[in-house]
Amino acid sequence: MRADESTEGAPAIELREVVKRYGGAEGLGPVSLAVPAGRTVALIGPSGAGKSTLLRLVLGLVAPDRGEVRLRGAPLRPEDHAARRRLGYVVQGGGLFPHLTAGRNAALVARHLRWPEARVTARLEELAALTRFPAEALARFPHELSGGQAQRVSLMRALFLEPEVLLLDEPLGALDPITRADLQADLRAIFASLGKTVLLVTHDLAEAVFFAHELVLLRDGRVLQRGSLDALVRAPADPFVARFVHAQRALGLPPGAPP
């Protein structure tokens, strides 16, 4: 590694002039974005803005056509499975395998890596307590779980290998309002207690403000503005920023949001 590529003090996640094309058109980019370690950053914007594509690029589910994704200053290659295991991923609906119990879903990768069974059991107990998942429900199959329980299992699976970074793609979008509110509170407490770097995709500005230290608003595959809600409200960098925030505010924002 060259001296100018030292990982000391590097962002947890960094995209450098990343471009992803679909059918000859640019679906995302060029985007440059750095996420500091230990911070929660929310990607917001309308459908088709490129939020989920950005997350998939970080995960290595798709490869950039140009540019580079870095983890702690080192290039993140799709074939580098050890580096990918430093990332935890939570999707909408949980994404659980229907033929596996909740416990086996959560511990899937650990068992693939041949963790000793005692270590798997101890980690399951630890994560069930952390996520407030009933221990007896670890033996249930996904169809026997509520939507909120399925998301807690997905979170346990994402946390199982103790990743440095959590990536969440609309994790609460399919839940009813009461379940969603309960899980929001639990997730924020978990983020704070673990001190993980979190990159969260959501359509919901109120949810973004609830979770994140910083907001990143995308449109048509580009970053329009990055900053606090107050900055987006009081000094929008683009007319669309003002329109987006104004439309979302009509749906209600959490207490303490700027007037």
DSSP assignments along 38-65, one per residue:
T-EEEEE-STTSSHHHHHHHHHTSS--S
pLDDT confidence band for 8 (50 / 70 / 90): low
Report helix angle 147-159 to 117-131, nearest 10: 130
Q: Average the pLDDT over 235-246 and give the result.
A: 92
> Is the peptide bond prior to 75 cis by the omega test (within 30 degrees of 0)?
no
The string of pLDDT tens digits covering residues 13-26 is 999 999 999 877 67
Residue 174, pLDDT above cutoff 80: no
Residue 221, pLDDT above cutoff 80: yes
Q: Which spans in the chain are helix H?
A: 51-59, 81-84, 102-106, 108-112, 117-131, 147-159, 177-194, 205-211, 229-234, 239-249
The string of pLDDT tens digits covering residues 114-169 is 999 999 999 999 999 999 999 999 999 999 999 999 999 999 999 999 999 999 99
pLDDT confidence band for 250 (50 / 70 / 90): low
Provide the 3-class DSSP secondary structure of residue 253: coil
For the chain, domains (ranges, CATH) are: 3-86+166-249 (3.40.50.300), 97-162 (no CATH)
pLDDT score recorded for residue 257: 47
Tokens 């007037």 correspond to 259
Q: Which residues contact 141 (CB under 8 A, 6 or more apart)?
A: 98, 99, 100, 101, 102
The string of pLDDT tens digits covering residues 65-116 is 999 999 988 998 877 778 888 999 998 888 999 999 999 999 999 999 999 9
The string of pLDDT tens digits covering residues 27-63 is 898 999 999 999 999 999 998 899 999 999 999 888 8
